[in-house]
Amino acid sequence: MTAWGVRFEDELRRLGVQPGRARQLADETAQQAAECDAAPDSLFGPAHLYARHLLSELTTRTLPLNGPSGPVRLRLTGVGKRYRRRTVFDGVDLTVRGGEVAAIVGANGCGKSTLLRICAGLTRPSSGRVQRTRRVGFVPQDAGTAGWLTADEHFTLFGAAAGMAPRRARSTGEHLAARLAWRPGRKQLTQHLSGGTRQKLNLVLGELHSPDLLLLDEPYQGFDQGTYLDFWHQVRAWREAGRAVVVVTHLLHDLQHVDQVFDLGALR
């Protein structure tokens, strides 16, 4: 098999395709390139991006249009959080499946961010049970990036944590950034980026390893109108690709884009 084919098959497996099926798809792709008398990369583009594209094509149209039916990616059962004697929330039940977008809403201080951190496994709940898929992407409200590193260095670092080779992490990061209309500067340190652009970096880092469940905490602070629309376009693309998405928001007009709304303020 060609080097391209090996990279393609590796990426399919990394995305959770069974080894036998990944091999079969890699063989077929090689055969398709052969019948067109073309090199795979000139016909299909970079191997890992084509792997993602193919998988989303294969999962997209098989989802019924009338609602999500994907596997459960996140389930909260009776989850509560107390700080000393103060109960922040209690009895949260929430199920999010692949191909579904859920919004967590509620007034400031009702614990939206805390709940999202519990979903991510970063904060322990005081009560209840959390079940989640293995591959999770978390995008915090701000921070999460290091001011003295460039965007590329972030891609390499976060990619390494997910077992990605540096070159692939960088090319994936740049590709994802382009979808948010951002072209990272080679030498620009993150501390010199605008707040909105830093949030784009955060978003790219959350998605870099192609997670099954994306947890987003108001990730569009500082976005201009165009980028804000790009962001929701991206959320729709994730949904169509069968990912599960949970987004914390306080903007009510966002809710037209989501499948279910969880009002944390209404619990009390």
Partner 1 sequence: MLHGFLDLCLLAMLREKPDYGYGLAQRLATAGVADVPGGTLYPALLRLEQQGLASPSWGPSESGPRRKYYAITDLGRTELAAQVTGWQRFRDGVDTLVAAGARR
Instruction: Name the residues that contact partner 1, by CB under 8 A.
Output: 25, 28-29, 31-38, 43-45, 50, 53-54, 57-58, 61-62
Least distance (Å) between residue 239 CB and partner 1: 18
Q: Mapped to the 3 state alphabet, what secondary structure does the chain carry?
A: CCHHHHHHHHHHHHCCCCHHHHHHHHHHHHHHHHHCCCCHHHHHCCHHHHHHHHHHHHHHCCCCCCCCCCCEEEEEEEEEEEECCEEEEEEEEEEEECCEEEEEECCCCCCHHHHHHHHHCCCCCCEEEEEECCCEEEECCCCCCCCCCEHHHHHHHHHHHCCCCHHHHHHHHHHHHHHCCCCCCCCCEHHHCCHHHHHHHHHHHHHCCCCCEEEEECCCCCCCHHHHHHHHHHHHHHHHCCCEEEEECCCHHHHHHCCEEEEHHHHC
User: Please, which residue, 24 or 77, has the CB nearer to partner 1?
Assistant: 24
Least distance (Å) between residue 232 CB and partner 1: 20
Least distance (Å) between residue 230 CB and partner 1: 19
User: Please, which residue, 25 or 245, has the CB nearer to partner 1?
Assistant: 25
Least distance (Å) between residue 29 CB and partner 1: 7
User: Please, which residue, 36 or 255, has the CB nearer to partner 1?
Assistant: 36
User: Please, which residue, 29 or 156, has the CB nearer to partner 1?
Assistant: 29
